[in-house]
Structure 1
Amino acid sequence: MSAPSPALNTPDTAAAPAVTRIGRFYISRELSRGSIGCVYLGHDPVIGRDIAIKTFNPRLTAAERHRYEQQFINEARAAGLLSHPHIVTVYDASVEGGMPWIALEYLQGRELSKLLDGGHRYLPEEVAAIVWKIADALDHAHRRGVIHRDVKPANIFMIRDDQPKLVDFGIARSPNRIPEKSADPQGPVTLVTGNRLVGTPNYMSPEQASGKPVDARTDIYSLGAVMYEMLTGRKPFTADSADKLLQQIACKAPAAPHEIDSKIPPALSQIVMTAMSKRPEKRYETAEKMALDIRRYLVRQRRARRRMKIPVPALEQHDPQAVQQERGALFWISCLSLAAAAGIAALAVLR
């Protein structure tokens, strides 16, 4: 489901709510509205916190609600399995008066897509720090059997010091998913569900674009496409029709990011191209391995900055996870260095 994110709207776009209460939550105002979904700012009187309530657009007909209700419930089921600092938190979900709703973490910020469309360009290290966190979030989801299937800038929400949150699990594949009535619940995830595209064409993997079965590596490709756009300022493929675009995704290799902009580090360019390999078996086997490659790059850059006494970017300053993981990486790098040194010393003694 393409529905608005649980974001804070500016005052001129906020609207009076169509409802004043959903479940136990009091509704103060409407945050955003899409063709299918609507997000309200709510308050939980029990916990005493603000939340985002996602439900159907009140203008939908009964038939339209029935059509999307299953997908809406599946979003709550998929996201509800996950608990990660870079995945939006689901607090509660229910159906009231035939209207399903999801209570979500209230995020204040902007979608990555709006930042990119507005001309914002990230430095290579900033791109690496953001994508690393999303890769780690995807690894968390994949380990729990959840495949997002629609990773794109519009579903990456940027908050505080440009910290990302993966949102909108409306078309995610999960173990507790309610299957389509016409589909085999154990069958493969494919491109078309109910005669409509599953995913967003610009960020689809080749197997998605070809209507073939997909697995978790489709998310890795999509994240690579997002990283490509963040680094270069352009999408990997563009075309004047969806058919041509899907054909390019399925058959054509994009230019490497560092070939488009020589300022892009080749190491990051290689990570992107590995993630975006046409054949799934040529990509990173897991999102964890992609995250590890990005982390190694960040560790090398941080060590180089320290040698040159260059300040750490704000994006990484207040990230305890980054510091902790970097220390772990430096620990193992030190161990490997000591082991290598010991091996050389042993050889010298034997000689």
Structure 2
Amino acid sequence: MLVGSTDEGRKFLKHAAHELYVWSKCRHPCILELFGVAIFRDQIAMVSPWVENGHLRWFLSQNPQANRCELCIRIADGVDYLHKNGTVHGDLKPENILVGKDHTPKLTDFGNAVLSEYTLKFTHSDTSSSMTMRWTAPEILSEETKTTQAGDVYALGMVIFETITGIMPYDGMKDVVIMRRVLSGIVPSRSETHIPNGVEQADRLWSLITRCWSFDPLERPKAWEVKETMEGVTPDGLLANSSYSELEEKEREV
């Protein structure tokens, strides 16, 4: 981020101060640690540990056999921590979740985060939001409200969907089509391959995901509920009694 006396420099500095303040409040295994801040050649940088596995989508592409259910539990735990401490992340998506050496997901990028109570005050910055509409709740996309905990849970549902299935929400669709679908309450379709119908844990998972996507924010679960429900879902349980599970078993035997 540029630092200087120009309007742009002041705007970026204000935005950085906001992100630093929110991030500095976080202490949790599933939140990327903030070491500090550095300024070099008129650039300001937030310093954090190097995370060798990259972001969630990249990690899963390189480690397809990773325990996706456990990743979802830990991500929900991180979101729950933020919410219980009065913080809204505001931009939850796979690119903002890094994966550590021990496969622990780390939430990062608090540029859009909101604290319910500030002990320091920042004047408003008009830095544009970096939210991606694939993960943005309809009430936020329509600008009826700003980022909320319910909006985080909507995004969490999208993250869980992609983590389990490997399918990006609204994959292959243009932004204008995605916006129309989100604002109309049209959500991604169930992947029978990864979340088979008629399998107890898979049905429970799909019910949870669709609750996260409820058009009415008041009908969405809390982050702690998402975590607790995910704790009852396992990779083996998702595929129990499914033809896909039988096929995988045959492949392992070969």
Question: TM-score interval w.r.t. the shorter chain?
Answer: 0.7 to 0.9
Corresponding residue to 1:131 among 69, 72, 90: 72
Which residue of structure 1 lines up, in the alignment, with residue 26 of structure 2?
A: 82
Paired AA for residue 218 in structure 2:
E
Matched, 1:274 2:211: yes
Tell me the equivalent position of 1:254.
187
Q: What is the distance in 2 between the residues matched to 1:153 and 1:236?
A: 11
Evaluate the alpha carbon distance shift between residue 149 and residue 157 of structure 1 in structure 2; reply closer, same or farther with a 3 A threshold. same
Q: Equivalent residue for 1:223?
A: 156
Residue 296 of structure 1 corresponds to 232
**% of aligned pairs identical?**
21
Alignment of 1:1-351 (within 5 A): 56=1, 62-93=6-37, 99-116=43-60, 118=61, 121=64, 126-174=67-115, 175-176=117-118, 178-181=121-124, 193-194=126-127, 196-213=128-145, 214-238=147-171, 240-259=173-192, 261=194, 263=196, 265-284=202-221, 286-298=222-234
Partners of 1:104 and 1:262 lie apart in 2 by: 36
Deviations 1:274-324 (A, max 9, x none): 11222111110x2111111111335995xx9xxxxxxxxxxxxxxxxxxxx
Q: Answer whether contact 2:69 2:164 (CA < 8 A) is retained.
A: no
Larger Rg: 1
Name the SS of the counterpart of 1:102 in structure 2.
strand
Q: Which has the higher strand share?
A: 1
Cα–Cα, structure 1 residues 288 and 74, in superposed 2: closer, same or farther, change >3 Å?
Answer: same
Say if 1:154 and 1:299 are closer, same or farther in 2 by CA, change over 3 A.
closer
1:181 alignment partner AA: H
1:106 Cα shift?
Answer: 3.3
Question: How far apart, CA to CA, are the structure 2 residues paired with 1:173 and 1:282?
Answer: 22
- Amino acid of the structure 2 residue aligned with 1:244: V
- For 1:226-252, what per-residue CA distance to the aligned partner results, in whole angstroms no more than 9, with x for missing partners? 111122222232465433322211213
Distance 1:258 1:266, change over 3 A: farther
What does residue 17 of structure 1 align with?
none
Classify 1:164/1:72 alpha carbon distance in 2 versus 1 (closer, same or farther; 3 Å): same
The one-letter code sitting in structure 2 at the alignment partner of 1:280 is: P
Q: TM-score, normalised by structure 2?
A: 0.77
TM-superposed CA distance for 1:267, in Å, is 2.1
Of structures 1 and 2, the one scoring higher in RCO (CA 8 A, sep 6+) is 2
Question: What is the distance in 2 between the residues matched to 1:212 and 1:250?
Answer: 11
SS in 1 for 2:204: helix
Aligned-partner Cα distance in 1 for 2:19–2:181? 30
| In structure 2, C-alpha distance between the alignment counterparts of 1:108 and 1:245, rounded to whole Å | 32
Cα deviation, residue 61, structure 1: 9.8
> Deviation at 1:152?
0.5
Change (3 A) 1:258 1:179: same
Structure 1: how far apart are the matches of 2:155 and 2:76? 11
| Cα distance between partner residues in 2 of 1:209 and 1:63 | 28
Q: Distance in 2 between matches of 1:119 and 1:299?
A: 18
Deviation of 1:218 (Å): 0.8
5+ residue gaps, structure 1, are 1-55, 183-192, 305-351
| Structure 2 unaligned residues grouped into runs of 5+ | 241-254
Partner Cα distance (1:203, 1:276) in 2: 10
The DSSP-based 3-state class of the residue aligned with 1:114 is helix
* Equivalent residue, structure 1, for 2:246: none
- In structure 2, relative to structure 1, the CA distance for the partners of 1:130 and 1:277 (3 Å cut) is same
